[in-house]
Amino acid sequence: MPILAAIVASAPLHAATPSGPASMAEHQRQCAGKDGWSDPAPPVRIFANVYDVGSCGITVLLITGAKGHILIDGATAQAVPAIIANIERLGVRPRDVKYLLSTHEHVDHAGGLHALHQRTGASLIASAAARPMLESGTPARDDPQHGGLDAFTGARVGRIVRDGEAVTLGSLRLTAHLTPGHSPGGTSWSWTACAGKNCRRIVYADSLSAVSADGYRFADHPAYVARLRTTIAKVAALRCDLLITPHPSASALYDRLAGTVPLIDSKACARYAAAARSNLDKRLAREAATVKRR
């Protein structure tokens, strides 16, 4: 079935005539030399009913269904007009987005959730750990990036999700995996998407990078490091045919969509986790070396 026909079959149409998802050639032209959090990008189809409607540098996922749609992440407030335009370009009415989900509570991924809630009326679903920051718009004091990120307009969380709990909307069923570490409230999501009889297990794995505000030392927070290591192991163990990440570059999403490397890869989550473990070890080694030089 042609892409646009598939969208029309599963989603109410906006009054304007939709043009459907962009080709990767169009996406590459528009994002050439750009990877900013708010740089507008055209929408692209990832697989089946899963689309990236975010910016050149930030993933925002739209998952379409016959009973309504789910949006994961919100990029920045400045990116929201382009996100809404992308949703409409796919033939989807913003008001038919029923749920907003979140990976983690930083401005580059959650800054647009308030405006998206206003535009769609969708209910925001998040973990208990993420809720205070999503509603206040300020990173938690135990967040390694506390003090290094801008605040944002908070959005009210309508439902708390627990580890392993499913969010269902018609035939859509997404499982929440609590994956704290990059932020205290990090959450990854997994689900099965089918293009005809070709079904794949998709994992939208939260960021696993050990980055921080100036002056923060992971070595001074062994419990937090242990939490991050547990999360890395958890992501490595997920059943995973198709990996997507909040920063598309972290999983080479656009290269994979362009066909330069395989899109489907059952070992992608394990490799993503292994890279995160290696980067964490390197970060701790640099911190230890700095102490020795003093």
Active site residues: 104, 106, 108-109, 182, 216, 247
d(CA 20, CA 242): 22
d(CA 63, CA 51): 6
Q: What's the token pair of residue 108?
A: 């580059």
* Separation of CA 204 from chain center: 6
> Which residues are within 8 A (CB) of 154 and not within 5 positions of it... i.e. 6 or more apart?
114, 134, 135, 136, 137
One-letter amino acid for residue 205 of the chain: A
d(CA 102, CA 129): 12
d(CA 190, CA 93): 24
Q: Which of 248, 168, 199, 269 is nearest to 47 (CA)?
A: 199
> Which residues are within 8 A (CB) of 66 and not within 5 positions of it... i.e. 6 or more apart?
10, 11, 170, 171
d(CA 281, CA 270): 16
| Number of Cβ atoms within 10 Å of the Cβ of 146 | 17
Length of the chain as a residue count: 294
d(CA 201, CA 269): 11
Q: Strand pairing partners for 193?
A: 200
